[in-house]
């Protein structure tokens, strides 16, 4: 059950051996020991992680995190609705693309991949376009590693009476938030991110009163958020269609391990320590982050690629992989960079080992 390398990516990520071992048993999707004792427990724990206030519920959806985003966009917005997307990266752009595929009217505020969105610009749009009904933003934009100031934008959306959708794919479970205090109506994340499970499903934590208004609005059968939730409510955790049982059981174990670590606050502190150790070590080797330090999330960091003519990312990547580390290529359209994540079953000592491996992998520095 040992892995040959650490995945220093934004997910899928390195998981514990005990999470992987949890997938070694087969489960029947009709049995109470699966639906009531695993699925329902997961749903309850997710809500408690998201908020201390009443009135919220959760629903699990098969597929990648993007499937859960599409389920939410396609179910929460009525045929008369309009979406405002705050887009400063690939995943904000993906929300826009989903809306376009579903023929949902959409206004996009796009400040660029290396800038935080401007609150005044968004306020101007909301004040001038009363047809906007929903606002969507990505919390941690892993295109660059930027952490967006969701508190201000959620407050602005609620001041204008809009439904707030938060893509917390790469932040939920690793950064403390209370979605009720923020005024978030729909929050979306995935099993294979900061909870440190494996890929196979995503989930939506929603204000129940808003989720109930989604009945009959879905633009897809398999991605009908309300119908999936209602089935789980009525049938005590039963999924409408085949559930990813092994992934679900691994996630149950991952939630237990989050609690053992000390909860979201403790995990956040570990991720922060990882990220600060990473940036300090990379700077000592001559690498510079793409973003200013105050914009960094504790999730993933983009670094400018070396300008040496001999540098090739693929060669650098393979040299690191041989030493037990897998990093990520860049995704920024106007900068040559690569990314290193520090979430998952990764600790400061691992990051220190990584810095040593990077120094050895810097072949372009060798005379």
3-class SS at 264? helix
- 240-246 CB contacts, 8 Å cutoff, 24+ apart: 241/62, 242/29, 242/62, 243/29, 243/39, 243/60, 243/62, 243/201, 244/62, 244/200, 244/201, 245/26, 245/27, 245/29, 245/34, 246/23, 246/26, 246/27, 246/200
Task: Give the residue-averaged pLDDT of 250-268.
Answer: 98
Place of tokens 């934004």: 10
What average pLDDT does the chain have?
96
Residue 1: predicted pLDDT: 61
What residue ranges do the domains of the chain occupy?
Answer: 18-260, 262-361
Q: pLDDT by residue (tens digit) across 326-354?
A: 999 988 878 899 999 999 999 999 999 99
Q: Is 43 annotated as a binding residue?
A: no
Fold of 262-361: 3.90.1150
pLDDT band at 245 (very low <50, low <70, confident <90, very high): very high
> Model pTM?
0.96
Residue 129 has, within 13 A of its CA and on its CB side, a CA count of 21
CA-nearest of 70, 120, 129 to 100 is: 70
Q: Does the structure show a pLDDT above 90 at 182? A: yes
pLDDT band at 282 (very low <50, low <70, confident <90, very high): very high
Q: pLDDT by residue (tens digit) across 81-103?
A: 999 999 999 999 999 999 999 99
Fold of 18-260: 3.40.640
């Amino acid at each position: 059950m040992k892995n040959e390398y650490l995945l220093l990516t934004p997910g899928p990520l390195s998981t514990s051996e005990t999470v992987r071992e949890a997938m070694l048993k087969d489960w029947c999707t009709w049995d109470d020991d699966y639906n009531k004792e695993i699925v329902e427990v997961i749903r309850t724990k997710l809500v408690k992680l998201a908020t201390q206030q009443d009135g919220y519920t959760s629903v699990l959806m098969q597929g990648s995190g993007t499937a859960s985003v599409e389920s939410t966009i396609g179910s929460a917005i009525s045929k008369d609705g309009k979406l405002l997307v705050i887009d400063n990266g690939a995943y904000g752009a993906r929300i826009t693309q989903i809306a376009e595929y579903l023929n949902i009217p959409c206004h996009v505020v796009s400040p660029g991949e290396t800038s935080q969105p401007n609150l005044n610009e968004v306020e101007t749009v909301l004040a001038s376009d009363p047809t906007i009904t929903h606002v969507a933003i990505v919390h941690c934009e892993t295109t660059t590693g930027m952490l967006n100031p969701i508190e201000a934008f959620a407050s602005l959306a609620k001041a204008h009476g809009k439904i707030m959708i938060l893509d917390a794919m790469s932040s939920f479970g690793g950064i403390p938030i209370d979605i009720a205090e923020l005024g978030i109506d729909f929050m979306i994340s995935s099993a294979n991110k900061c909870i440190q499970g494996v890929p196979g499903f995503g989930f939506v934590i929603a204000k129940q009163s808003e989720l109930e208004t989604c009945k009959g609005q879905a633009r897809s059968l398999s991605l009908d958020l309300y119908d999936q939730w209602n089935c789980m409510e009525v049938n005590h955790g039963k999924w409408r269609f085949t559930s990813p049982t092994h992934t679900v059981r691994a996630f149950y174990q991952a939630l237990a391990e989050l609690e053992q670590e000390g909860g979201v606050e403790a995990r956040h502190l570990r991720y922060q320590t990882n990220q600060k150790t990473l940036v300090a070590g990379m700077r000592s080797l001559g690498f510079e982050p793409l973003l200013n330090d105050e914009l960094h999330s504790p999730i993933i960091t983009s670094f400018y690629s070396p300008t040496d003519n001999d540098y090739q990312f693929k060669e650098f990547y393979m040299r690191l992989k041989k030493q037990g580390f897998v990093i990520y290529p860049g995704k920024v359209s106007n900068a040559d960079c690569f990314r290193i994540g520090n979430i998952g079953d990764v600790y400061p000592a691992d990051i220190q080992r990584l810095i040593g491996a990077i120094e050895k992998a810097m072949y372009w520095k060798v005379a």
